[in-house]
């Protein structure tokens, strides 16, 4: 499945620096408000060492990792939902994303121009209020449309009840994801692409003197995330960008000196997968070894449908083994001889890291 994540935050909190570090793509960088004026988009390969492990044992023409689309949204400010700052046209780009990566400034100094002190809690509240106000405008319009139908159609009356409940939450400045919505209610809300309904990963953009995020500012982000039941992680955007621009040998040496074991890209994308309830399976053969993204709990036919829509309907069975099986036995033939190649049917629930051959009908 295609996965997309929008990076949001106030101006000059390091969104574009983190975007450039993650994507190796060029984004507008500056140290004054609204130095980024256009949303930037890049498709990022998901690091996965299991692809190389598979390649050690299976000859192939190419290796295709899973990918995530990352969108760098220019800074939101108080009034963005009403057209302030860079205006609200960028809010529409957040609506199109599956998840939100909320970058919060947790570093001091005068590297960037900013009015007032560093205030992670206040920054989070400002951004989330603007998203709530923008959603409120969307929901109010939906209420007006649905109210006209509700006079004659029972289903419309039920939809109106959901919309009015959502409106009440947003009028108080609340975030819709904090409230319980059953599947029937979500079928009403999802088509509106409401931003406060999307899962959020809070990213504390720390200084290079607080890489572990143990300082007061980063801990404010942690406390807010934990209170919401959300995920968070500390990341030093400047350091990540510097490491990304180094050649491999210098990068490894510098990371060793700092005690950094991996670039932030891997941590961020793993957190995004966890946030969205995603997992990976693999197909492997002489033409390609590929990683595929599915939701946790998906069955084998659903996974087959990621390869081609017809495969879900024409699914017969799946032959499944694990990467660990391949390492232990050395080849698919040896796995089969050892009785470790499993044959699974339509009810099989996919597991993280499955290597699969699908048999489908014509």
Indicate whether 87 and 200 sit together in one domain: yes
Mean of the pLDDT values across residues 176-191?
Answer: 95
Indicate whether 121 and 178 sit together in one domain: yes
Residue 151 has pLDDT above 90, yes or no: no
For residues 232 and 218, what is the distance between their CA atoms, to the nearest angstrom?
10
Whichever domain contains 28, its CATH number is 3.40.50.300
Instruction: State residue 210's pLDDT score.
Output: 95
Instruction: State residue 63's pLDDT score.
Output: 97
Structure tokens at 187: 């079928």
Give residues with Cβ within 8 angstroms of 226, minimum separation 6.
232
Instruction: State residue 11's pLDDT score.
Output: 87
Indicate whether 240 and 310 sit together in one domain: no
Reported as half-sphere exposure (CB side, CA atoms, 13 A), residue 287 has a value of 1
Q: Is residue 352 part of a domain?
A: yes
Instruction: State residue 85's pLDDT score.
Output: 45
Percentage of residues in the chain with pLDDT exceeding 90?
Answer: 74
Domain hosting residue 102, numbered range: 4-274
Q: Is residue 67 part of a domain?
A: yes
Indicate whether 351 and 203 sit together in one domain: no
Mean of the pLDDT values across residues 172-190?
Answer: 94
pLDDT digits (tens, 9 = 90+) for 224-251: 999 999 999 999 999 999 998 999 899 9
User: What is the rounded average pLDDT for all residues in the chain?
Assistant: 89
Q: Is residue 280 part of a domain?
A: no
Instruction: State residue 78's pLDDT score.
Output: 60
Indicate whether 228 and 331 sit together in one domain: no
Q: Is residue 283 part of a domain?
A: no
Instruction: State residue 142's pLDDT score.
Output: 96
Q: Is residue 309 part of a domain?
A: yes
Confidence class of residue 87 from pLDDT cuts 50, 70 and 90? very low
Indicate whether 312 and 219 sit together in one domain: no
Q: Is residue 106 part of a domain?
A: yes
Mean of the pLDDT values across residues 196-219?
Answer: 95
pLDDT digits (tens, 9 = 90+) for 37-86: 567 889 999 999 999 999 999 999 999 999 999 999 877 766 555 554 44
Q: Which of residues 89 and 349 earns the better pLDDT score?
A: 349
Indicate whether 209 and 170 sit together in one domain: yes
Question: Taking the CA atoms of the chain, what radius of gyration do you get in angstroms?
Answer: 23
For residues 342 and 322, what is the distance between their CA atoms, to the nearest angstrom?
10
Task: Name the domain boundary from 242, 274, 306.
Answer: 274
Structure tokens at 218: 């980063």
Q: Is residue 248 part of a domain?
A: yes
Q: Is residue 279 part of a domain?
A: no
Give residues with Cβ within 8 angstroms of 184, minimum separation 6.
158, 162
Mean of the pLDDT values across residues 243-264?
Answer: 89
> In the chain, how many domains are there?
2
Indicate whether 144 and 235 sit together in one domain: yes
């Amino acid at each position: 499945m295609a996965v997309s994540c929008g990076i949001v935050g106030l101006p000059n909190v390091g969104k574009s620096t983190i975007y450039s570090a993650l994507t190796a793509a060029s984004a507008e960088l500056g140290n004054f408000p609204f130095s980024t004026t256009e949303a930037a988009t890049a498709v990022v390969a998901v690091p996965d060492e299991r692809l190389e492990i598979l390649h050690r044992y299976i000859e192939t023409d190419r290796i295709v990792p899973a990918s995530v689309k990352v969108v760098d949204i220019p800074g939101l400010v108080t009034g963005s939902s009403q057209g302030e700052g860079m205006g609200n046209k960028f809010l529409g780009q957040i609506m199109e994303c599956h998840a939100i990566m909320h970058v919060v400034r947790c570093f001091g100094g005068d590297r960037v121009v900013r009015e007032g002190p560093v205030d992670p809690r206040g920054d989070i509240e400002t951004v989330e209020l603007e998203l709530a106000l923008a959603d409120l405008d969307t929901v109010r319009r939906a209420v007006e449309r649905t109210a006209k139908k509700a006079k004659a159609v029972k289903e419309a009356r039920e939809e109106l009840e959901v919309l009015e409940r959502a409106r009440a939450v947003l009028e108080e400045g609340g975030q819709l994801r904090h409230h319980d919505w059953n599947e029937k209610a979500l079928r009403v809300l999802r088509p509106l692409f409401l931003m406060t309904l999307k899962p959020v990963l809070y990213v504390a953009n720390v200084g290079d003197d607080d890489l572990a995020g143990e300082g007061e500012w980063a801990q404010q982000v942690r406390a807010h995330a934990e209170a919401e039941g959300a995920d968070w992680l500390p990341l030093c955007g400047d350091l990540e960008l510097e490491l990304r621009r180094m050649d491999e040998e210098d990068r490894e040496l510098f990371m060793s000196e700092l005690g950094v074991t991996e670039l932030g890209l891997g941590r961020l994308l793993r957190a995004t997968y966890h946030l969205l309830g995603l997992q990976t399976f693999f197909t492997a053969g002489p033409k390609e070894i590929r990683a595929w993204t599915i939701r946790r709990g998906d069955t084998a036919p659903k996974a087959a449908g990621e390869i081609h829509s017809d495969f879900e309907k024409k699914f017969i069975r799946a032959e499944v083994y694990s990467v660990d099986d391949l390492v232990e036995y050395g080849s698919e033939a040896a796995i089969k001889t050892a009785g470790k190649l499993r044959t699974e049917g339509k009810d099989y629930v996919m597991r993280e890291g499955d290597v699969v051959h699908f048999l489908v009908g014509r």
